Amino acid sequence: GQIIHLEDYRPTDFVLERVDLTFELDPKETKVEARLILHRREGVDASAPLVLDGDELVMTGLLVDQEELAAALYDVTDDTLTIRGLPETAPFEVTITTMLSPETNTKLMGLYRTNSVYCTQCEAEGFRRITYFPDRPDVLAVYTVNIIADKKSAPLLLSNGNYLGGADMGDGRHFAAWFDPHPKPSYLFALVAGDLGVVEDTFTTLSGREVALKIYVEHGKEPRASYAMDALKRSMKWDEEVFGREYDLDIFMIVAVSDFNMGAMENKGLNVFNDKYVLADPETATDADYANIEAIIAHEYFHNWTGNRITCRDWFQLCLKEGLTVYRDHEFSADMRSRAVKRIAEVRHLKSEQFPEDAGPLAHPVRPTKYREINNFYTTTVYEKGSEVTRMLATLLGRDLFKKGMDLYFDRHDGQAVTIEDFVACFAEVSGRDLGQFSLWYHQAGTPLVTASGAYDAAKQTFTLSLEQTLPPTPGQSAKEPMHIPLRMGLLLDNGAEADLSSVSGADITGDVLHLTERKQTVVFSGITSRPVPSFNRGFSAPINLHIEQSDDDLALIARHESDLFARWQALNAIALANLVSATADVRAGKSVTVERALIDGLIGAAADDRLEPAFRSQALSLPSEADIAREIGADNDPDAIHAARQQVLKAIAVAGRETFLRLADEMASKAAFSPDAESAGRRALRNAALTYLVHGEDKPARAAEAFAAADNMTDLSHALALLAHRFPDATETAQALATFRQRFADNALVIDKWFAVQATIPGAGTLDRIKTLMTEPLFNGNNPNRVRSLVGSYAFANPTGFNRADGEGYRFLAKQILDIDPRNPQLAARILTSMRSWRSLEDVRAGHARNALKEIASATKLSADVSDIVERMLK
Ligand code: B3K
Ligand code: ZN
C-alpha cells in the first residue's frame, strides 16, 4: 500500500446527505443495495468525478438517479469506483448493488459470520467491504437500514439507531427497518442478525427519558451477562455525573460474538463485543476478567460522546477519540475501585506495553503524520499514551478548568469530525494558556528521560534540584524539542512531614506540580529545615522514565511515608527493579545473587501492614516482570539470565517472609460467598500473592495442588494452575490439574483460552513443543482470534524464556504462524507479529535469529499490507 500523509488532507468533493441500505442476508450470497444521496460541494470543479472506496467487492448494479450508467462514465478498480458526468449543483442519487459472501469472510472486517450470526466490523475501513462508499470518518450521514433474512435462522435483525418496524415477508423471510437520526461516519455502522438470547433492563437518564438496554448473547449464556449489564448502568450514570453526558437514543444494545479481532466496537447504539469482555460468572471468570469487562463496557459506552457524537476528521486523529476515551474509562474504574491500585495497574500496563513500543522500531507520535495501514495504528501509544496526555492536561489545568474545557469541546463540536488541534484549543481558550509546548506530547514520539539530582545546603536551608530532560530519537524524528512535563512531587522530611514548596526559584510550581519546561532546569527550594527526600512523579503525573540517584534508605522512606499511595508503590518498585537488574548482572557473571535487605523488608513490611488495603499490598508484593527488567537493562538482553535472577530473588523473599505469607494465606482466605467487588478481589489477590511466594519457597507442588483442589472460583483456580504449571511443569500433579481443568471446561472456549495461555507461558525452551502439540488439540481453532491469541500470542508476548530460545526456534515458529494466519486474517497476524518489536535489545545471537525470522516473513510473496508494514518498520 501507499503512504498516506496528514498534510494531504482535504475535504471530499461531494457531500453525502443520506444513506439507505438494504441487506438481503445469505451466508454465501448476500445482496446489498446502497442508495447514496449526494451533492457536489460548493466551489468544487464541475468536472470532478465522484471517487468511492471499495475492497474485494463484486458489483452487480450501478444506477445514477435510477438510470443505468453508460460504461464510459464509470471505472471500477480493485479499490475504487469512479463516476463521471455528475450534476453540477443538484443533489443526485447513486444506487450500488454488491454481492457479499459473509461466510467466507475470514478477515472479520466488513460483514461476516460468527457462530451462525451475521455481524459487521467497519472501523477503520471495513465499510468499503460492504459497498462502494466515501469510507472516511469526516463523511457524516443519516442512515436507514433494511434487513431481510431467513426468519428461522435469523429471528433477530439489528442495526444502529431506533427500530422503525418490520414484517413477515411470507416466503420464510422477514424484514426489519432501523433509522439512526444521528449523522455518523461509516465506521460506526453496524448490523447483526441471528438467533441470540437477550438480557434486558432499562436506564432512566438525567432528564427522565427511559432507555431500553439489551445485551445479546448465545442462548443459555444469559446469566453470564448480568455483570456486564450492571457495569453498563453504572457507566451511564457515571458519565452523567462526572462529564454531564446523557445517552441520546431510545435503545442501547450490546452483542457478544465469539470471533472478533479486538476487544469491542462502539457502533452507534449497537456495540459489538468480543464475548470475552461480556461473559462472566464466578466459576468461569477471574477478578481480572471482571475488571476488564467493567472497563471495556464503560469504554465503548463513553465513545457515544467521545468518538460518535464528536468524531475524528481523519484517522491521524485517532487519539482524539481513543486517548480521551481511555482516560475516561480509567477515571471511571478509579471511581468504582481503589484509585491508587487502579493507577498502579495502569502504570504497570503502560510501562510494559507502551514504553517498549516507544523505544523500538514501531515508535510513532500519539498523533502520527503518516501511515501505510491504519489498522496498525490502533496502538498502545495512541490509546494509553493518548490517555496519559489527556491526564496531563487535566493535571496542568486543574479539575475545574479541565471540566470547563471538556464542556466547551462537547458544546462546540457536537456533530462534527474534528482534530487534536480543535480539542486542545478548547482548553487553551478556557484557561487562557498557551498550550503550544504542551502539544508536543502529541507530536514527538519516544519516552522522555528525566534525570534529577539534589543537593541540600544545611547552612542556607536550601535544596537545589538539577533537572534535565532528554527525548531519544525515534523513527523519522531525530531532533526533539523540550517538552512541558508536569511533575507532581513532594519533599519528605525526616520527621515524616512534608516541606512547603512555595518558596522556590527556577521553576513554576502549582500545588505539588513542578513544571519542567526547559532542557535543563535548576530549581532551588528555600526554607528547608532538614535534608529532604524528594519524591517525584506522584501518581505518575507524566509518562516518563526518571533517573535519580536515590539510596535504598531514601526509597524505603518514601515507601513508608508518602501520602500518595502510588508513590509508595513506585518507590518499592524502584528498589526491586534496581536489585533485579544487578541480580541479572550477577547471574551473567556467574556470581551468586545478592538480595538487598531494603527489598526484603520493604516488600514484607508492606505486605504485613494491615492498615493498607489488601489490593495495594498484593501490588507491592508483585515483583517487576521479566519484561520490565529487560526494558530497564535496555540492551544486550539475555532472557534466561533475567529469568534465573528473578527466580532467585523471588525465592529469597519467599524464605525471608514465610511467616508473613503463611499468615496472609490464612487470613485472606474468603469466608463469605464469592463477590466480584474490588475489596473481595483485593483479598484474593493478596492471598494468591502470598501463595506464590510460599510455592516458590518450597520444592514440592503439594501446596499449589491443594490450592487447585480447594479453589471455588476461577481467580483462585487459574492462579493455582499457573503456579503448578510454571513452577512444576513436569510434575504429575501439574499434568493431573491440566487434565482436570480441560475436562471440566471443555465446552467453555473462553476458559479453555486460559488453559492454553497457562501452558504457552511455561518458562523454558521445552514449551515450544508443548505448543505445537496443543495446536493439534481438538479444542484449538486456528481461525478464532481468541484461541490464536491465547496460544500463539501468549507465547510470543508473555513467555520471554520460552519464546526467545537461544537457538531461534521460537522466532522461526512465530514466522511460520504469521505466514499461515496472514492470508486469512491479516489484522490478527500483524498484531501478533508486534511481539517482536524489542528484538534489537536482545543479545547478538538471539537478535541475529530474530532478524532472520523477520527477513523470512518480509521476503514471502503476497504479504498483506498489515504484516508487510509491521515487518518493514521492524527491519528498518
Ligand atoms: N474503536 C474500536 C477499535 C477498532 C479497531 C479497528 N482496527 C474499539 C475501541 O477502541 O473502543
Ligand atoms: Zn476505543
DSSP secondary structure of 569-585: HHHHHHHHHHHHHHHHH
pLDDT of the residue at 774: 98
Cell numbers linked to 121: 466490523
pLDDT of the residue at 685: 98
806 Cβ neighbours under 8 A, 6+ residues apart: 640, 765, 845, 846
Q: Which ligand is nearest to the CA of 124?
A: 1
Cell numbers linked to 423: 480539542
Cell numbers linked to 222: 444469559
Residues in the chain: 876
Ligand 1 site, residue 123, Cβ cutoff 6 A: yes
Contact between 673 and 715 (Cβ < 8 Å): no
Ligand 2: centre distance to CA 739 (Å): 38
**Choice from 186, 262, 825 to test ligand 1 binding pocket (greatest atom count within 8 A of CB):** 262
Residue extents of the structural domains in the chain: 4-195, 311-443, 449-542, 544-698, 746-876
Ligand 2: centre distance to CA 99 (Å): 30
193: preceding bond cis by omega (within 30 degrees): no
Specify the DSSP class assigned to residue 564.
Answer: S
- Which ligand 1 atom minimizes the distance to the CA of 299? 11
Ligand 1 site, residue 445, Cβ cutoff 6 A: no
Ligand 2: centre distance to CA 83 (Å): 35
Ligand 1 site, residue 257, Cβ cutoff 6 A: no
Ligand 1 site, residue 265, Cβ cutoff 6 A: yes
Nearest CA to ligand 1 atom 5: 123
CB count, 10 Å around CB of 581? Answer: 19
Nearest CA to ligand 1 atom 9: 265
pLDDT of the residue at 278: 98
Nearest CA to ligand 1 atom 2: 265
Name the CATH topology of 449-542. Immunoglobulin-like (2.60.40)
Ligand 2: centre distance to CA 620 (Å): 30
Residues linked to residue 30 through DSSP beta bridges, in sequence order: 100
- Which ligand 1 atom minimizes the distance to the CA of 300? 11
What would the DSSP string read from start to end of 33-90?
EEEEEEEEPTT--TTPPEEEE-SS-EEEEEEETTEEPPGGGEEE-SSEEEE-S--SSS
| Residue 257: its H or E element | strand 251-257
- Name which of 827, 846, 837 is nearest 874 in CA terms: 837
Cell numbers linked to 333: 474504574
Q: Class for domain 746-876, per CATH?
A: mainly alpha
Half-sphere exposure of 389 (CA within 13 A, CB side): 34
- Name which of 871, 831, 750 is nearest 257 in CA terms: 750
**Choice from 125, 129, 265 to test ligand 1 binding pocket (greatest atom count within 8 A of CB):** 265
> How many Å apart are CA 135 and CA 130, to the nearest integer?
11
Give SS3 for 546. strand
Nearest CA to ligand 1 atom 1: 265
pLDDT of the residue at 158: 99
Give helix then strand counts, H and E, for the chain: 30, 33
Ligand 1 site, residue 725, Cβ cutoff 6 A: no
Positive or negative torsion for Cα 61, 62, 65, 70 = negative
- Which ligand 1 atom minimizes the distance to the CA of 303? 11
Ligand 1 site, residue 387, Cβ cutoff 6 A: no
Ligand 1 site, residue 373, Cβ cutoff 6 A: no
- Which ligand 1 atom minimizes the distance to the CA of 263? 8
Give the per-residue SS3 of 39-54: EECCCCCCCCCEEEEC
pLDDT of the residue at 495: 78
Ligand 1 site, residue 378, Cβ cutoff 6 A: yes
Q: Which residues are annotated as catalytic?
A: 300
Residues linked to residue 490 through DSSP beta bridges, in sequence order: 535
- Which ligand 1 atom minimizes the distance to the CA of 264? 8
- Which ligand 1 atom minimizes the distance to the CA of 322? 10
Backbone region of residue 540 per phi and psi (left: phi > 0; alpha: psi in -120 to 50; beta: other values)? left
pLDDT of the residue at 78: 82
> How many Å apart are CA 788 and CA 780, to the nearest integer?
8
Ligand 1 site, residue 124, Cβ cutoff 6 A: yes
Cell numbers linked to 441: 506530547
The span from the first CA to the last CA of the chain, in angstroms, equals 17
Ligand 2: centre distance to CA 567 (Å): 29
Ligand 2: centre distance to CA 335 (Å): 19
CATH number of 311-443: 3.40.50.620, 2.40.30.10, 1.10.390.10, 3.20.20.70? Answer: 1.10.390.10
Question: What's the angle, vertex CA 804, arms to CA 799 and CA 805, rounded to 5?
Answer: 115
**Choice from 129, 254, 261, 266 to test ligand 1 binding pocket (greatest atom count within 8 A of CB):** 266
Q: Which ligand is nearest to the CA of 272?
A: 1
Q: In the chain, what are the helix, strand and coil shares in percent, each to the nearest 5? A: 45, 20, 35
What would the DSSP string read from start to end of 727-781?
H-TT-HHHHHHHHHHHHHHTT-HHHHHHHHHHHHT--STTHHHHHHHHTTSTT--
Ligand 2: centre distance to CA 302 (Å): 9
Q: Which ligand is nearest to the CA of 321?
A: 2
Ligand 1 site, residue 322, Cβ cutoff 6 A: yes
Nearest CA to ligand 1 atom 3: 265
pLDDT of the residue at 494: 83
Second CATH level (architecture) for the domain 4-195: Sandwich (2.60)
The pLDDT averaged over each successive group of 10 residues in the chain (876 residues) is: 95 98 98 98 97 98 97 95 96 98 98 98 98 98 98 98 98 98 98 98 98 98 98 99 98 98 98 98 98 98 99 99 99 98 98 98 98 98 99 98 98 98 99 98 98 98 98 98 98 90 96 98 97 98 97 96 97 98 98 97 98 98 98 98 98 98 96 94 98 98 98 98 98 98 98 99 98 98 98 98 98 98 98 98 98 98 97 98
Torsion of CA 411, 417, 420, 422, to 10 degrees: -40
Ligand 1 site, residue 262, Cβ cutoff 6 A: yes
Ligand 1: centre distance to CA 95 (Å): 29
CA distances (Å), 566 to each of 70, 154, 323, 561, 619, in order?
68, 50, 22, 12, 10
**Choice from 120, 121, 123, 299 to test ligand 1 binding pocket (greatest atom count within 8 A of CB):** 123
> Grid cell 444521496 — which residue?
37
Ligand 1 site, residue 869, Cβ cutoff 6 A: no
Ligand 1 site, residue 300, Cβ cutoff 6 A: yes
**Choice from 300, 305, 378, 827 to test ligand 1 binding pocket (greatest atom count within 8 A of CB):** 378
Write 673-678 long-range contacts (CB < 8 A, 24+): 674/282, 674/712, 674/713, 676/227, 676/280, 676/282, 676/285, 676/287, 676/290, 678/291, 678/336, 678/337, 678/338, 678/341, 678/615
> Grid cell 516507544 — which residue?
358
pLDDT of the residue at 665: 97
Ligand 2: centre distance to CA 564 (Å): 29
Specify the DSSP class assigned to residue 353.
Answer: I
Question: What's the angle, vertex CA 360, arms to CA 355 and CA 361, rounded to 5?
Answer: 140
Nearest CA to ligand 1 atom 8: 265
- Which ligand 1 atom minimizes the distance to the CA of 123? 6
Nearest CA to ligand 1 atom 4: 123
> Grid cell 524464605 — which residue?
655
Rg value, the chain, Cα = 28
Task: List b or e across 203-234, with b for residues whose CB sees 16 or more CB atoms inside 10 angstroms.
Answer: beeeeeeebebbbbbbeebbebbebbbebbbb
Backbone region of residue 172 per phi and psi (left: phi > 0; alpha: psi in -120 to 50; beta: other values)? left
Query: 544-698 — its CATH code?
Result: 1.25.50.10
Ligand 1: centre distance to CA 237 (Å): 23
Longest pairwise C-alpha distance within the chain = 95
> Do the first three CATH levels of 449-542 and 746-876 match, i.e. the same topology?
no
Ligand 1 site, residue 693, Cβ cutoff 6 A: no
746 Cβ neighbours under 8 A, 6+ residues apart: 752, 779
Ligand 1: centre distance to CA 264 (Å): 7
Contact between 451 and 464 (Cβ < 8 Å): no
Residue type, 41: R
Ligand 2: centre distance to CA 755 (Å): 28
